[in-house]
Structure 1
Amino acid sequence: MSLSIGTALAAPADVRPAAFDHDIARLDRVELRSMPAVDAQRLRAQDPQREARGLPPRFAQPLAVDLDPHNAGAWEALDDDHLVWRLRVESRDALSLNFGFDRYRMPAGGYMLIYPEGLTGEADPRLVRHFSDADNEAHGQLWTPIVAGDRAVIEVVVPRASVDELELHLVQIGHDYRGFSRMARESALIQPLGTSGACNVDVECPDADPYYDNIVRSSAAISTGGSLFCSGSLLNNTAGDRRMFFLTANHCGINSGNAASLVTYWNYQNSTCRTPGSSSSGQDGDGTLDQYLTGSAFRAGNSASDFTLVELDDPAPAAFNLYWSGWDRRDMNFPGAIGIHHPNVAEKRISISTSATQISGYGGGAGSSHLHIFWQPSGGVTEPGSSGSPIYSPDKRVIGQLHGGPATCSATGSNRSDYYGRLFTSWTGGGSNSTRLSNWLDAGGTGAQYIDGIGPDGGGGNLPPNADFSFTANDLTVSFSDGSSDSDGSIASRSWNFGDGGSSTATNPSHSYAAAGSYDVTLTVTDDDGASNSRTRTVTVGSGGGNQLQNGVPVTGVSGAQASEQFWTMEVPAGASNLQFVTSGGSGDADLYVKFGSAPTTGSYDCRPYTGGNNETCSFASPQAGTWHVMVRGYSAFSGLSLTGSYGTGGGGTQTYSNTSDYTINDNATVESPITVSGRSGNAPSNASVDVDIRHTYKGDLRVDVVAPDGSVYNLHNRSGGSTDNVIGTYTLDLSSEPLNGTWKLRVNDNANQDTGYINSWSVTF
């Protein structure tokens, strides 16, 4: 089931849960249907074996149900002319839920909302999924995008006179046990699905220069049947009529029986370039899943070159600014290649090959159905979830889609490569309309060997500018610096709104505020083709020292809008220890960023805990002396938050030293996370406390040790625990023979295949 242009972005501003504006039954009195327990541990243990057999990656367990307004929930009068039906659904410990309706027919003037239970009127409207009569399709089905959390409310509002026209039958609920995105994460009990390898390259990075901007807009992350995930791309055809042809992999499991359940997520990418290889590059980014289309019709597929072509139910919403990629079906190799994909269904990445392609069979076997692509030694690769993603020639034309291969971030040589089913082979496929591309991409029989892509306006399409700015506050005066850019043109004008009634059209204005406080400043930039974009940051000014944190003194009542950014500094003296920045309390969801020497950004920082809610901590056992910078950014709107910076002085007493960076644990490999201690005297105590947080399936494969500065090894965990997940706990060690100063290491050794993980954090107190 697809979303129309008017509904695909989010629920309209005037469409809210009925209880916000009407006197109807309290939500806790609405019927709750609870699903049977899901054994997430067993499912996660199965996933590596499934993927090793070539099955599509899985993020959710489908649960069969038989629910409709006749056997569940309750109707109420909303007003004289409308009725509302509501049902609560729970699948305990799900990270998100999705819903499959095998019958959906909404009368004119009616609509359905699905939203997380507990939603408030101030919540991000993107959390509300909205469907209307525009989503009625010939196949009569509706399959929804994910809804965050393990409880959701299904709410239908219809005109009283049309209630008999409603058809609604819920046949499946998807229990997300891996975490489809950060939005779906309720806790950090497991590694989020949306976390890809650190070597991968964001599409905002220099590797993805403006030459590739158009084809980046062509790729999407997908889910099928409320359970499986892959990647794919939008393709042009010789008619240039913008039919919604979408190419993915045959092994992703889409067929004529389930194509209606396809959900495509567009423009899901990080807003900045995270340095490839850095810890931030291997973590969740700030991409969102609020641009989506649902539903498709199967057109063709063939296993020989592992392709599937579907046609999405609805046209592209203008706001998505999508791009229909060109293609090249010639029987030839190419001097290089570009892959754009969603590794592990994380934010969109780009991988580049500067080596010539090689025609081969899949896996290097006999035949000519695939292209063998060799990635750069230090660049991005692919991962599960990248399957079905396009591979482009240097001319930016699709020449195949990902089938599989041995590539990983740690792979070298010929193993740092993948196999893509050739578009040349797929063109004639199995010789019938339902097994080849030719009938669909060249329906007029022009015989074209290749075509270029097309944008929403008939050409490449004007890319909107990127709005951004930085600022420096001095007492009540703030100096602003425009950092906006336009990849396919230039910035023609700027409009500043300083949040106190003041404004400017200057490039780098300065503004003086009349009173201390926090102000939301918005910069709107317009490019030379008339497209515009805006960026809002929260600026806090004060008459007594600006935004400087004092040791141990909390700043209270911090509030901000979604994506707002507020900054503080703290001067840390020489010899300080155990520096901590802590956010706590209030409501909403704010993210803490800390960096030494300069202001952090979403792509550059020394610490970012990135947990749900407002309770976050950044710790530095032996901090550098100088200026530390703190940013609090609104993941969603938040209020009532407290921020405290504190440090100790002197070298005596017990201190805690931590390393919160992620270290990937590869199969049959050893990884170490270091902590350096300095400025102490004497030996460690006989009761040192070590806290570890290791996320890994099958902890029975792991050996975990603390390694002292002189190389002495102290074992914490030695391949016990069988198939249970994660090593999380506190251990007491006698380290009295070891000097305190030096580099301590947490060493983790993996002893089996097909189950990887990472060191999330560890600390030692002595």
Structure 2
Amino acid sequence: MRAILTVFVLACVSITLFSQTGPLIAHTKTPLSAVEQVTMPPQDNEALLAAEMERRGPGIAPRFAVNLETNISPATHGTWDYLANGNAVWRLRIRSVGAKSLNLGFTKYIMPHGGTLVLYSPDYERVMGPFTPSDNEEHEQLWTPVLNGDELVVEVQLPKAAVPALQLQLKYVNHDFLGFAEMLSGSCNLDVICGGADGWGIVDHYRDIIQSVAVIGTGGGTFCTGFLVNNTRQDCTPYFMTAFHCGINQGSAPSLVAYWNFQNSTCRQPNSPQSGAPGNGTLNDFNTGAIFKAGWSNSDFTLVQFDDPVSETAGAFFAGWSAEDTAPSDTVICIHHPGTDEKRISFEFNPTHIGTWGTGADPVPSGNHIIIPDWDTGTTEGGSSGSPLFNNQKRVVGQLHGGGAACGNNEYDSFGWFHFSWEGGGTPATRLKDWLDPDTSGVIVLDGHSQMQCNFFVEGTPASIELCAPDDATFTVSVSETFVDSVVLSVTGLPDSLTATFGENPLPPGGTTVLTIGNTAAVGVGTYTFTLEGTDSTESNFSELSFFVANAAPAPVALIAPANGASGLGLSVIYNWNANPNTTYQIEIATDTSFANILETASGIAGGTYAGGISLQMQTTYFWRVKAANVCGGGGWPAAYSFTTGAIFCAPLTSANVPVVISSNGSPVITSTLEVTSGGFADDLNLTNLSIQHTWVGDLRVELTSPQGTTITLMANPGNGDCSEDNLLVTFDDEAASDYNVLNSSCNSGGLAIEGIFQPLEPLSTFNGEWVQGTWTLTVYDDADQDGGTLIAWGLDVCATVPDDFSLSPSTSSVDGCENDTVFFTVLPGTAFNDTTGVTLSANNLPPGATATFDPNPAMPGTEIQVALGGSASPGNYSVDIVANDGTNTGTATVTWTIGGAPAAPIPAAPASNATGVSLNPVVSWQPVPGASYQLQIAADAAMSDVVFSATSSNTSVVANGLDYCTTYYWQVTAIGDCGQSASGVSAFTTKLDLAFNANPGTFASCNLGAVSGVLTLGKCFDAAGVTLSAPGLPANATLSFATNPALPGSAVSFELALNDVAPGNYTVTLEGTDGTNTATETFNLTVTGPAPAPAMTYPPDASIIPEDPPTFTWQAVPGALNYKIEVATDDNFTTILAETTTTQTTFTPASALVVLNNIFFWRVTAFNNCGGTTPAPFSFEIFGESTREIFGVEILVQPNPTNAVVQVKLTGALSEPLTVAMFASNGIPLQREIMAPGALAASLDLSNYPAGVYLLQLSAGAKVATERIVLQK
């Protein structure tokens, strides 16, 4: 879906937000504080961060959040309310303590008609949505963008009747431990906002393709970069590409969230501290949800289609592409989000080359990646994965897979090659061309186009015009290329007296013309709005345009305030006059009536108010005037007004009557006081640094009472009492940029609930004119039981007119400075001092080595005097008395002078000194130093001259990067304060060893007739003398040899494993390497296959007699066999083959009867696989013919037949040769056999143990054979 994150600045939650038409957030009777809250299991952000840094590596999508599984639905959790308008409202508060942001994964989202879902922060400051029925997708999922903070509210509104149709299942709450919008990238990166005005005119050439790139989150936890891509239909199908290793597939594509226009608002120059500091981009424009289309790991691409059109406010660009087979030889550009930081752009101006993933920067002409040897401007980082690589024609040629590039090195990057992805793996699910060239046009080069070209539009520019009658109003009219036919233009809504003329009408699609509005003298002064329409009879669109008509220059301006002759004014004056629309004003402020000495002038002012831009002097008369101008010309100056400023003093004061405890019992009221010792009449007051530690600050009300008894309310129960977070630190100023509504809607988690400078609920100007000297009282009300806390501090900045007495008023009660610095402040003597002699200034109680100077000295009473305290005093706190004397009268002011020194040196914490096995991305930390920021440096030498990593931070830890394996590094952290810096001692640590010992491939399969080969890659941290390689425990008869042995650290060694005569089977082969100190092993799986075994032959059985001719031969299948060879012969040497064939089946029937020679045949079957076959011993069989019933003239009697047990064989005469009597089953299997000696006349066979059936009796003597069927009955 597409949506925009709305940021609300609430004037009053109960009035402004809930009075909107169709409100996003319902106004319910149940306060938010009473809504059910689900608190997720606690997470250790530092541990999660350390684990993530350890997990990261090339080709791994970085992770910013951990998925917390849950099972929440409106049926099981939350609070229901029912509104008078017929709607039902379901709300649930979700909190994961310490999360930098939260996002949600709904695995079931079906929203009925009329329903909406929104997410918002408990302070109502950030609202996301609405998500509506238009977000119902086939995959029935909804994954939300991130919402900053560790708590959010889920709210559903829908008609009561639709509640049964609502299906909502929250499966994942995703806890951000990294800070999705807070992560930093290297300072060498270049912001995409940079341009010609910043010295980066090259970036301006690529404004269009910059808009194709988005930062993405997937599954609520991982992040990468991706880009919109055009297709040959150019129909704005929202295809989006990223890297395959970013983990987007059929199952995870619905969880994709793409954030548009996340970029810094100003150009941070590369390599400046600002470029490595947090940016100010926003994540308020996004698409969520996609459908997987294609992906291929070899070239590391993934293509998805958003399940909704691109967000209308994205201003997106559909990138063009080139599937050509040549690597760019000139400028290439990468646009990316390093570490999810704001969008950056990198340039390389040298040729690229083709390589492949896993071989570093080496050229591989047949490879599938484009290699960038290094970057000339910028770099890439984790999170840049999936970012597009453009050639100098602004066409995508690849997407980032990974590499070694980082700030501070000249390492390579590897991009999956678009040309290789075009054909991919040869199927629509593994290649690009089916989707990006759906009509098989054969196009391999395509330019991009803007999102605006996706819609029908009729546009007039400018949108509004001012003119002086009788001048014409002229507009440039353009229509989009998406119209099919000519576009007929028209205007409606103009007065009849005006004319409207088009230079050309109708317009062709994509055309432009000029619209002229004439006869403007016929209408009166005013603004006229009309509609410009265009239609091609099928599609239409319109724009609203306007023009303002004036007919004369304006009259002189009526001035309002300051009133003419006003006196005693403060030094910041606001000027007011009567103003008219479509009129601008010029103001002049001078010290004389003729305006010869103009102090300030401003022009082009719209409206009737101007806040002076200069600070006025005390007790001085000024003159001011305003004149007006419109499109017809300028008016004249009116008579000037004058005013006189008073004598003013200003002083910042702090209360000494703190801290004050706020009880947690009942509804306590506490007070704290502040003494103002100088007199004067209030001119401007601010209440400063109000610090209250208190749980649930929504319980608090704060009032201020003057010495004269006037009371105002500064704040009252933030969030209408619902702000459940803790602690506040605020300043109240009537002129603050943030009004009270901003305070009322603030309720931050994880620190201060409310922090900043705000306008008070009731104005501090209420005190203006009152005598400021005396006791000021701050009253804090705790309006609820249980929660308590402490009033920590508060102060007043008081500006008052100078009293007519002998006082001396300092501008501050305290000044801070550093050793050998000079600090400045002012004092104001009362106007009662002698104005003839003036007052002379001096200082008492100066610390040794200090000096004090005054300018002017002497000075006139009621005039401001600058005091400079300097010299070479030691650090410390000193009370200095400033004395004013006119010879008769004396006034004294005491000022505390704090002289600061450099901060203490930080104490390193981790990694511990001389630690070993440290991660390549260690979290480096140190003990805090009050009031300091820090600079961390990591160097390759103890002298800290070869710095490899540097970072500045206000925190006491930094995640380092760019380190190498098995290297000793030295680090030092410097505390930087207002008065200098102090460095820690140098600590050392050694990174973990790269003892990688990896075989590729990880699985081998081979016959036991040859050899297999692979590559063994060694880590770089073995001993330089080399690694001795071996392969213990090889299978019997196997031998393994290495191309190089010993092998050098960091090398890739080929090996060969000979498998002749190795018994078939599955083996685990172990490779071992040792350098004398370190031993590493690697195992891989080996499958050895031998020739296929001989099959079990089933029919005819061996030595059988069968009746069929030809017979059907059968045998059992052999696992893994590809085919079988069957042979039938007349001899067991198979010299005379009667029938043979090769088949994949397990049966065979010869085409014709076997030729019977002596009725004995032989057959065998050989099974074959890829490794050969095994020929078995042959089986013999006979085919019986007609029974002769006599042999050598001797008649043979067989009886009884049928029989129920015994068969008698009787001869009528004696034979001279032995007679073999054999009984066979009907399938030819031999059962019994007896031999009758020559001369024997009878034999018997007992069949009682056999089942009833037909059996075969064979009688044979010499070459004579007789066969009889025997019927056995039971």
TM more than 0.5? yes
Rounded to whole Å, the distance in 1 between the matches of 2:925 and 2:547 is 51
Q: Which residue, 386, 399, 402 being the options, matches 1:401?
A: 399
Deviation at 1:510, TM superposition (A): 3.1
1:687-724 deviation digits (Å, cap 9, x = unpaired): 96626789x9x831679xxxxxxxxxxxxxxx9xx987
Rounded to whole Å, the distance in 1 between the matches of 2:314 and 2:227 is 14
Label 1:352 to 1:434 Cα distance change in 2 as closer, same or farther (>3 A): same
Residue equivalent to 2:2: 3
Label 1:505 to 1:284 Cα distance change in 2 as closer, same or farther (>3 A): farther
Name which of structure 1's ranges 168-177 and 206-215 shifts more when overlaid on structure 2.
206-215
Deviation at 1:63, TM superposition (A): 0.2
Rounded to whole Å, the distance in 1 between the matches of 2:649 and 2:340 is 39
Label 1:550 to 1:28 Cα distance change in 2 as closer, same or farther (>3 A): same
Residue equivalent to 2:361: 364
1:409-466 deviation digits (Å, cap 9, x = unpaired): 1113xx1x3111110111111111111111111111111120000112439999x9xx
Mapping of residues 674-753 of structure 1, within 5 Å: 681=872, 690=903, 699-700=910-911, 726-730=925-929, 748-749=937-938
Residue equivalent to 1:277: 271
Q: Which residue, 234, 237, 248 being the options, matches 2:228?
A: 234
Q: In 2, are the aligned partners of 1:127 and 1:148 still within 8 Å (CA)?
A: no
Q: Which residue, 112, 120, 137 being the options, matches 2:117?
A: 112
Rounded to whole Å, the distance in 2 between the matches of 1:179 and 1:266 is 18
Q: Secondary structure, in 3 states, of the residue corresponding to 2:179?
A: coil
Residue equivalent to 1:635: none
Q: In 2, are the aligned partners of 1:584 and 1:641 still within 8 Å (CA)?
A: no
Deviation at 1:726, TM superposition (A): 3.1
Label 1:422 to 1:549 Cα distance change in 2 as closer, same or farther (>3 A): farther
Q: Secondary structure, in 3 states, of the residue corresponding to 2:228?
A: strand
Deviation at 1:370, TM superposition (A): 1.0
Residue equivalent to 2:731: 585
Q: Secondary structure, in 3 states, of the residue corresponding to 1:319?
A: coil
Residue equivalent to 2:289: 295
Mapping of residues 156-555 of structure 1, within 5 Å: 156-181=156-181, 192-193=182-183, 195-206=184-195, 207=200, 209-334=203-328, 335-362=330-357, 363-365=360-362, 366=364, 367-377=366-376, 379-412=377-410, 415=411, 417-458=412-453, 503-504=582-583, 509-511=603-605
Q: Secondary structure, in 3 states, of the residue corresponding to 1:128?
A: strand
Q: In 1, are the aligned partners of 2:583 and 2:606 still within 8 Å (CA)?
A: no
Structure 2 counterpart of 1:268, which letter?
F
Rounded to whole Å, the distance in 2 between the matches of 1:732 and 1:151 is 30
Label 1:754 to 1:99 Cα distance change in 2 as closer, same or farther (>3 A): farther
Rounded to whole Å, the distance in 2 between the matches of 1:30 and 1:439 is 51
Deviation at 1:318, TM superposition (A): 2.8
Q: In 2, are the aligned partners of 1:702 and 1:749 still within 8 Å (CA)?
A: no
Q: Secondary structure, in 3 states, of the residue corresponding to 1:162?
A: helix
Residue equivalent to 2:100: 95
Structure 1 counterpart of 2:309, which letter?
P
Residue equivalent to 1:46: 51
Deviation at 1:49, TM superposition (A): 2.2
Deviation at 1:42, TM superposition (A): 1.4
Q: TM-score, normalised by structure 2?
A: 0.41
Q: TM-score, normalised by structure 1?
A: 0.66
Find out whether 1:762 has 2:760 as its counterpart: no
Label 1:296 to 1:514 Cα distance change in 2 as closer, same or farther (>3 A): closer
Q: Secondary structure, in 3 states, of the residue corresponding to 1:127?
A: strand
Rounded to whole Å, the distance in 1 between the matches of 2:331 and 2:150 is 45
Structure holding more strand per residue: 2
1:700-751 deviation digits (Å, cap 9, x = unpaired): 1679xxxxxxxxxxxxxxx9xx987632413899xxxxxxxxxx99664468
Deviation at 1:276, TM superposition (A): 1.7
Label 1:614 to 1:436 Cα distance change in 2 as closer, same or farther (>3 A): same
Q: In 2, are the aligned partners of 1:701 and 1:751 still within 8 Å (CA)?
A: no
Name which of structure 1's ranges 549-558 and 221-230 shifts more when overlaid on structure 2.
549-558
Aligned residues: 574
RMSD: 4.7
Q: In 2, are the aligned partners of 1:252 and 1:388 still within 8 Å (CA)?
A: yes
Name which of structure 1's ranges 308-317 and 509-518 shifts more when overlaid on structure 2.
509-518
Q: Secondary structure, in 3 states, of the residue corresponding to 1:289?
A: coil
Mapping of residues 560-639 of structure 1, within 5 Å: 584-585=730-731, 614-615=755-756
Label 1:82 to 1:754 Cα distance change in 2 as closer, same or farther (>3 A): farther
Label 1:459 to 1:296 Cα distance change in 2 as closer, same or farther (>3 A): closer
Rounded to whole Å, the distance in 2 between the matches of 1:499 and 1:555 is 29
Label 1:227 to 1:754 Cα distance change in 2 as closer, same or farther (>3 A): farther
Rounded to whole Å, the distance in 2 between the matches of 1:200 and 1:494 is 45
Deviation at 1:305, TM superposition (A): 1.1
Rounded to whole Å, the distance in 2 between the matches of 1:549 and 1:295 is 62
Residue equivalent to 1:535: none
Deviation at 1:3, TM superposition (A): 2.8
Deviation at 1:683, TM superposition (A): 7.8
1:546-601 deviation digits (Å, cap 9, x = unpaired): xx99785997499xxxxxxxxxxxxxxxxxxxxxxxx95359xx999xxxxxxxxx
Label 1:31 to 1:690 Cα distance change in 2 as closer, same or farther (>3 A): same
Rounded to whole Å, the distance in 2 between the matches of 1:543 and 1:419 is 71
Structure 2 counterpart of 1:434, which letter?
A
Residue equivalent to 1:57: 62
Rounded to whole Å, the distance in 2 between the matches of 1:93 and 1:745 is 24
Deviation at 1:134, TM superposition (A): 1.1
Residue equivalent to 2:1066: none
Q: In 1, are the aligned partners of 2:408 and 2:948 still within 8 Å (CA)?
A: no
1:72-121 deviation digits (Å, cap 9, x = unpaired): 112121225111111111100101100000000001111011111232xx
Rounded to whole Å, the distance in 1 between the matches of 2:649 and 2:57 is 52
Q: Secondary structure, in 3 states, of the residue corresponding to 1:46?
A: helix
Rounded to whole Å, the distance in 2 between the matches of 1:143 and 1:354 is 40
Rounded to whole Å, the distance in 1 between the matches of 2:384 and 2:417 is 16
Structure 1 counterpart of 2:977, which letter?
S
Rounded to whole Å, the distance in 2 between the matches of 1:642 and 1:216 is 49
Label 1:409 to 1:159 Cα distance change in 2 as closer, same or farther (>3 A): same
Query: Structure 1 stretches of 5 or more lacking a match?
Result: 182-191, 468-488, 520-541, 559-582, 593-610, 617-639, 657-677, 704-718, 734-743
Q: In 2, are the aligned partners of 1:584 and 1:642 still within 8 Å (CA)?
A: no
Rounded to whole Å, the distance in 2 between the matches of 1:383 and 1:544 is 62
Label 1:748 to 1:217 Cα distance change in 2 as closer, same or farther (>3 A): closer
Structure 2 counterpart of 1:136, which letter?
N
Find out whether 1:155 has 2:155 as its counterpart: yes
Residue equivalent to 1:473: none
Q: In 2, are the aligned partners of 1:454 and 1:460 still within 8 Å (CA)?
A: no
Structure 2 counterpart of 1:730, which letter?
V
Q: Secondary structure, in 3 states, of the residue corresponding to 1:585?
A: strand
Rounded to whole Å, the distance in 1 between the matches of 2:109 and 2:948 is 41
Find out whether 1:74 has 2:68 as its counterpart: no
Q: Secondary structure, in 3 states, of the residue corresponding to 1:85?
A: strand
Query: Structure 2 stretches of 5 or more lacking a match?
Result: 9-16, 463-511, 513-544, 549-576, 587-601, 614-641, 654-683, 689-728, 739-751, 758-793, 799-810, 824-868, 877-899, 942-946, 955-974, 981-1274
Deviation at 1:517, TM superposition (A): 5.1
Label 1:460 to 1:171 Cα distance change in 2 as closer, same or farther (>3 A): closer
Rounded to whole Å, the distance in 2 between the matches of 1:493 and 1:359 is 57
Higher relative contact order (CA 8 A, sep 6+): 1
Structure 1 counterpart of 2:212, which letter?
S
Deviation at 1:759, TM superposition (A): 3.7
Q: In 2, are the aligned partners of 1:82 and 1:157 still within 8 Å (CA)?
A: yes
Q: Secondary structure, in 3 states, of the residue corresponding to 2:205?
A: helix
Q: In 2, are the aligned partners of 1:297 and 1:311 still within 8 Å (CA)?
A: yes
